[in-house]
A = this chain, B = another copy of it.
Amino acid sequence: MSQHPANDAWEALLSAHATTMKRFAADDSWTEVSLREYDVLYTLSKCQHPIRLSELNRHVLLSQPALSRLVDRLADRGLIDRCPDPADGRGILICLSAAGRAVQHRVGRRHARAVARTLTSGLTPADLRQLEALCRKLAAAAATAQAHD
């Protein structure tokens, strides 16, 4: 059933993603925040400075309106801070609040252990480094590629 190598690779990546996500979704780390909310908190935790909603949206697999409302809810719960961008009246800047940072750390520590457990159970350190490098290449390619047709 082999197709183009690219399609085989993509299918394998999708399968790895789905299977692994299912495992993570199944463990009981998501009482404080859902996995999708955590994704946002984690993305913000890597930013030194507040970022724009549209920039955040580039990292999260959600439509712009869905992310806008997810950010609403996180702000209502006091986990993130939102303020208008002084440099652009249309934009808003988002960053973790102290409470949000605490939640991210707490949930993140637990989740990171689950990730390490699952990935190291079948892949060697060399495998992991290769996988990381290849995925980075793919992400860069997909971010760059031009639309067609």
Interface residue ranges, A against B (CB under 8 Å) = 1, 3-10, 12-23, 26-28, 46, 59-61, 112, 114-123, 125, 127-145, 147-149
Interchain CB contact under 8 A, A60 and B142:
no
Q: State how many copies of this chain the complex holds.
A: 2
Which one of B7, B21, B114, B122 lies within 8 Å of A61 (CB-CB)?
Answer: B21
Which one of B1, B15, B119 lies within 8 Å of A59 (CB-CB)?
Answer: B15
State A7–B26 Cα separation when bound (angstroms): 18
The 4 closest A-B pairs by CB, nearest first: A122-B141, A12-B135, A6-B119, A16-B135
Interchain CB contact under 8 A, B8 and A128:
yes
> Which residues of the partner chain B approach A3 to less than 8 Å between Cβ atoms?
112
